[in-house]
């Protein structure tokens, strides 16, 4: 026992030697006590550590015996995510590609030049032109959502669990816009896509250990045989993607969506000019021979589907909750929706959505309180000297940015638990440090589907709020309790809300 303790504590003076403030570690487990007890989700855990470092721009902690660093200062975050990105090109989260090809090959986890090439190609899926072409598909799903509420949730005491309803609607949007599939998840809770959505983020003790390994202790992955996506989910989406590809090839149709972008990746060889633009010298030969297999394509299809539906549904669900709890904000938003639609002949168009500035503010505040990415992780790939100091962040040191903690820091955002969209007026936005507000990350690793997710969320909210007033139910939680069992930020339990039919105010 004594030998084990000496081994596990051998690095516990690491930060002290460097002169870096740090949290005192517990024997064997470092500073992971709350995380190991599954009392908090990873985002909450890192937020709680964030608040232990008040007044410090950065401080150390320990993942078991491994030194890691938490960054609190927005200026230093700017260096890590953007200005000195070449020191922090990779996420720390890791999957073992040999036992988990789906996890190891997707854009969220791959490293280096492979990531750069894939990112540059997949980014074209979300250009302004393609978003405009997708918009009618988003509108169709939003109209179906509005009709569904009218059919099922408009009676006096019949509440709807917006957490579940918005998840099902988000699946329809993602399936339609990304894969050309009519999933039917909204109207059929037993739909296979919805079953997949529930399973992929389902909690179990084994799943908790796997998530801990992926984001904090990658060395344990092969021992726990961790899979970033569970096998049943992997199998289902593989089949769905394969069917979408077959139909596309049989009909020889071209929709310019994610399926077509992925198929084009498989067909084309990398050109010399493209390689020079994205590769470091040592990676050039690898990229010359790089080909995308079916496994590579399915891995991207899986991560886009899971991340897309989860973040979109979470954002719209939390937005509806906060609007129900803050009726004065909801009233102001509905008035602006009416005013904007009046200038667009009553039609919900792409341009009309873009003109709804208060809607932008409402979603920005929702994302502040409930960021889809509650923390950011980076691996230092090259020694980095913290500006203005002689302190070196050594290669292979994991670095964490607790987004949730920053967003709820009263120094950065006064009255952080109060829902106040006016924080994001053009005048007030100027006082918010760009790198203190990071709902989708920042820099080259910024969430690739951010614009699509926001467009889908806005369109669904406009269709709902132009027809319904959202009000709390007797069972609606007055304080939002976050689930400790998930990776993405999600509430614990249901969000029951009532929908009361209204008409838009006449300008």
Per-residue pLDDT tens for 481-490?
A: 888 877 778 8
Confidence class of residue 500 from pLDDT cuts 50, 70 and 90? very high
Q: Is residue 507 part of a domain?
A: no
Q: Rounded to whole angstroms, how far apart are CA atoms 237 and 258?
A: 14
In this predicted structure, the answer to whether residue 2 has a pLDDT above a threshold of 80 is no
In this predicted structure, the answer to whether residue 428 has a pLDDT above a threshold of 90 is yes
- Using DSSP, state whether 498 is helix, strand or coil: strand
Q: What is the pLDDT of residue 68?
A: 98
In this predicted structure, the answer to whether residue 459 has a pLDDT above a threshold of 80 is yes
**Beta pairing class for 66-71 and 58-63:** antiparallel
Q: What is the pLDDT of residue 112?
A: 87
- Residue ranges making up the domain that contains 369: 2-501
Strand partners, 67: 62
Tokens, residue 285: 């030969």
Q: What is the pLDDT of residue 169?
A: 94
Q: Classify the C-alpha dihedral 216-47-486-29 as positive or negative.
A: positive
| Residues sharing a CB contact under 8 Å with residue 16, sequence separation 6 or more, in sequence order | 22
**Number of domains within the chain:** 1
Residue 177 assigned as binding residue: no
Mapped to the 3 state alphabet, what secondary structure does 273-291 carry? HHHHHHCCHHHHHHHHCCC
Q: Are 280 and 294 in contact (CB under 8 A)?
A: no
Q: What is the pLDDT of residue 442?
A: 96
Q: What's the CATH code of the domain at 350?
A: 1.10.630.10
Q: Rounded to whole angstroms, how far apart are CA atoms 318 and 311?
A: 11
In this predicted structure, the answer to whether residue 287 has a pLDDT above a threshold of 50 is no
Q: Is residue 223 part of a domain?
A: yes
Mean of pLDDT values over 254-260: 73
Q: Is residue 506 part of a domain?
A: no
In this predicted structure, the answer to whether residue 181 has a pLDDT above a threshold of 80 is yes
Q: Rounded to whole angstroms, how far apart are CA atoms 466 and 21?
A: 52
Confidence class of residue 275 from pLDDT cuts 50, 70 and 90? very low
Q: What is the pLDDT of residue 222?
A: 74
Q: What is the pLDDT of residue 406?
A: 98
Mean of pLDDT values over 386-394: 97
> Of 2-6, 19-23, 35-39, which gets the smallest average pLDDT?
2-6
Mean of pLDDT values over 437-448: 94
In this predicted structure, the answer to whether residue 273 has a pLDDT above a threshold of 70 is no
Mean of pLDDT values over 84-101: 88
Q: What is the pLDDT of residue 507?
A: 52
- Residue among 502, 319, 498 at smallest CA distance from 419: 319
Tokens, residue 135: 């918009």
- Using DSSP, state whether 496 is helix, strand or coil: strand
**Burial of 142 per CB tally in 10 Å (0-12, 13-18, 19+):** buried
Confidence class of residue 330 from pLDDT cuts 50, 70 and 90? very high
In this predicted structure, the answer to whether residue 282 has a pLDDT above a threshold of 80 is no
Per-residue pLDDT tens for 6-27?
A: 666 778 999 999 999 999 999 8
Residue 313, number of CB atoms within 10 A of its CB: 29
Q: Rounded to whole angstroms, how far apart are CA atoms 126 and 129?
A: 8
At how many degrees (to 10) do helices 258-267 and 112-122 cross? 130
Q: What is the pLDDT of residue 496?
A: 95
In this predicted structure, the answer to whether residue 235 has a pLDDT above a threshold of 80 is no
Q: Is residue 445 part of a domain?
A: yes
Q: What is the pLDDT of residue 3?
A: 62
Q: Are 189 and 165 in contact (CB under 8 A)?
A: no
Question: What mean pLDDT is reported for the chain?
Answer: 87
Q: What is the pLDDT of residue 270?
A: 43
Residue at token pair 């570690």: 25
Confidence class of residue 227 from pLDDT cuts 50, 70 and 90? confident
Q: Is residue 267 part of a domain?
A: yes
């Amino acid at each position: 026992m004594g030998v084990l303790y000496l081994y596990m504590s051998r690095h516990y003076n690491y930060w002290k030697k460097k002169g870096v403030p740090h949290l005192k570690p517990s024997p064997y487990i470092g500073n992971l006590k709350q995380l190991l007890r599954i009392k908090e989700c990873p985002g909450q855990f890192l937020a709680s550590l964030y608040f232990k470092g008040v007044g410090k721009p950065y401080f150390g902690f320990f993942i078991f015996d491994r030194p890691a660093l938490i960054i609190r200062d927005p200026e230093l975050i700017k260096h890590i995510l953007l200005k000195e990105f070449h020191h922090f090109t990779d996420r720390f989260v890791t999957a073992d590609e040999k036992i988990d090809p789906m996890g190891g090959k997707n854009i969220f986890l791959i490293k280096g030049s492979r990531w750069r090439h894939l990112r540059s190609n997949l980014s074209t899926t979300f250009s302004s032109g393609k978003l405009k072409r997708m918009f009618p598909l988003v509108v169709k799903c939003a109209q179906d959502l509005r009709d569904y509420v009218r059919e099922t949730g408009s009676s006096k005491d019949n509440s709807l669990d917006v957490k579940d309803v918005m998840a099902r609607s988000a699946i329809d949007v993602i399936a339609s816009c990304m894969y050309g599939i009519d999933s039917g998840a909204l109207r059929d809770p037993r739909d296979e896509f919805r079953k997949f959505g529930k399973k992929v983020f389902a909690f179990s003790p084994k799943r908790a250990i796997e998530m801990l390994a992926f984001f904090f202790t990658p060395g344990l992955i092969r021992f726990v045989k961790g899979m970033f996506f569970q096998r049943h989910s992997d199998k289902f989406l593989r089949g769905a993607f394969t069917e979408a590809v077959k139909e596309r090839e049989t009909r020889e149709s071209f929709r310019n969506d994610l399926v077509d972008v992925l198929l084009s990746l498989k067909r084309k060889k990398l050109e010399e000019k493209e390689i020079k633009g994205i590769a470091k010298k040592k990676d050039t030969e690898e990229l010359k021979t790089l080909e995308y297999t079916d496994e590579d394509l399915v891995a991207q299809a899986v991560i886009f589907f899971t991340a897309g539906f989860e973040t979109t549904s979470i954002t719209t669900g939390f937005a509806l909750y906060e609007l129900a709890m803050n009726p004065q904000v909801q009233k102001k938003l509905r008035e602006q929706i009416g005013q904007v639609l009046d200038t667009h002949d009553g039609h919900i168009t792409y341009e009309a959505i873009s003109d709804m500035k208060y809607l932008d503010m409402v979603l920005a505040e929702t994302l502040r309180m409930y960021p889809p990415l509650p923390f950011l992780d980076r691996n230092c790939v090259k020694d980095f000297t913290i500006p203005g100091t002689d302190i070196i962040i050594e290669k292979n040191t994991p670095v964490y940015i607790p987004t949730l903690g920053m967003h709820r820091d009263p120094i950065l955002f006064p009255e952080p638990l109060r829902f106040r969209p006016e924080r994001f007026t053009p005048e007030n936005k100027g006082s918010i440090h760009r790198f203190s507000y990071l709902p989708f990350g920042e820099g080259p690793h910024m969430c690739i589907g951010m614009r699509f997710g926001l467009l889908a969320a806005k369109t669904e909210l406009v269709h709902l709020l132009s027809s319904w007033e959202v009000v709390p139910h007797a069972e609606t939680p007055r304080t939002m309790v976050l689930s400790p069992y998930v990776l993405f930020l999600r509430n614990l339990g249901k969000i029951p809300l009532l929908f009361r039919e209204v008409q838009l105010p006449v300008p």
